[in-house]
Structure 1
Amino acid sequence: MDDAKARFVEAGRRALAGKATEAAPSVNFLSYDEMHRVLAPLRITIVRALAGQGALSIREVARRVDRDVQAVHRDVTTLVNAGIVDRTESGVEFPYDRIHFDYDLGVAA
């Protein structure tokens, strides 16, 4: 959260100074456990199936990952709610070029 706040403040400072800022989309999780819950291995498989494909129907995603349509629908809903995947009129899509993971592990308090 501190990193997200710092980036927000820096973007505001640059905007007030009249300097162009290019925003990079990002999704932040409060903990590693939360990230792992949302981006569980089966959901990462869905993201990989969507990458670079444009919008696909849930049924097509399920076919590509060889899973049950209802299970894929539940996982896609989780990904949509987390901002990883977008729902469009044509289906669902992963609108980004990549996923980059960046996290720190420290001593437990």
Structure 2
Amino acid sequence: MKTLTVRLGGMTEIRSRIAAASRKVLAGQHVDVQPCLNFGSYEDMHRVLAPSRLAIVKALAGQGGLSIREVARRVGRDVQAVHRDVTTLINAGVIDRTESGVEFPYENIHFDFDVSAAA
């Protein structure tokens, strides 16, 4: 099953994960590479993956390429609004534009982060 993992964290965390993977490779160990999308903050993530955009992602999951008009029909929204949201999702690397339309090349999304109370 192909899963896209969404994480919160800055460049320090990303560098740490890359360094750990590099050490494994240099030691001759296998590194399991999984698709990951990183956001610097919850607010950044929510700007891209707002509920209306997640509905688009869900409509695309496992469907192959679909036209924007078909995506709009499936989510019950205006084509122009869906086009704007699709453009945002493409620019963020969440979905892809293909010859057959737009697609989410994964079967699901896993959100890997904790939300803590404010200090």
Q: Does TM-score exceed 0.5, indicating one fold? A: yes
Alignment equivalent of 2:25, drawn from 15, 23, 45: 15
Structure showing the higher strand proportion among its residues: 2
Cα distance, 1:69 vs. partner?
A: 1.0
Cα distance, 1:107 vs. partner?
A: 5.7
Q: TM-score, normalised by structure 1?
A: 0.90
Whole-angstrom distance in 2 between the partners of 1:7 and 1:77: 29
1:34 to 2:44 alignment: yes
Structure 1 unaligned spans of 5+: none
Structure 2 unaligned spans of 5+: 1-9
Cα distance, 1:40 vs. partner?
A: 0.6
Cα distance, 1:108 vs. partner?
A: 4.9
- The structure with higher relative contact order (CA 8 Å, sep 6+) is 2
Look up the equivalent residue of 1:50 and give its one-letter code: L
Cα distance, 1:16 vs. partner?
A: 1.3
Superposition RMSD in Å: 1.5
Contact kept, 8 Å, 1:32 with 1:103, in 2: the verdict is: no
Cα distance, 1:105 vs. partner?
A: 3.5
Q: What is aligned with 1:88? A: 98
Q: What is aligned with 1:70? A: 80
Whole-angstrom distance in 2 between the partners of 1:12 and 1:103: 23
- Tell me the SS of whatever aligns to 2:65: coil
Look up the equivalent residue of 2:13 and give its one-letter code: D
How many pairs are equivalent?
109
Whole-angstrom distance in 1 between the partners of 2:115 and 2:56: 27
Q: What is aligned with 2:34? A: 24
Q: TM-score, normalised by structure 2?
A: 0.83
Q: What is aligned with 1:59? A: 69
- Tell me the SS of whatever aligns to 2:13: helix
